[in-house]
Amino acid sequence: MKKYIFGNWKLNKNQAEVSTFFATFNKQQVKSDYLVYGVAPTFLGLQLANYLKQGQTNIVAQDVCEYEHGSFTGQISVRQLNDLNINYVIVGHSEARKYLGCTDQIVNKKVAICLANDITPIICIGESLKEYKAKQTKKVLAKQLKTIFKGISVSEAKKCIIAYEPLWAIGSGKTPSLSEINGLCTYLKQVLKTLYKQTMNTPILYGGSVNNDNAIEIATQLSVDGLLIGGASLDANKFATILQHLNLWLTRK
Ligand code: PGA
Q: What angle do CA 130, 134, 138 make, to 5 degrees?
A: 100
Q: Atom 6, ligand 1: which residue's CA is nearest?
A: 230
pLDDT band at 252 (very low <50, low <70, confident <90, very high): confident
Please give the biggest Cα pair distance in the chain.
52
Q: Is 228 in the pocket of ligand 1 (CB under 6 A)?
A: yes
Q: What does the alpha-carbon distance between residue 161 and residue 201 come to, in Å, rounded to a whole number?
A: 9
What pLDDT score does 1 carry?
Answer: 84
Long-range contacts of 65-71, Cβ-Cβ distance < 8 Å, separation of 24 or more: 65/110, 66/106, 66/109, 66/110, 66/113, 67/109, 67/113, 68/113
Q: Convert the pLDDT of each residue in 140-187 to its tens digit.
A: 999 999 999 999 999 999 999 999 999 999 999 999 999 999 999 999
Q: Catalytic pick from 93, 95, 127, 131?
A: 93
Q: Is 92 in the pocket of ligand 1 (CB under 6 A)?
A: no
Residue 170 phi/psi, 5° resolution? Answer: -70, 120
pTM above 0.85, yes or no: yes
Q: Quick count: other Cβ atoms within 10 Å of Cβ 146?
A: 14
Q: Atom 2, ligand 1: which residue's CA is nearest?
A: 230
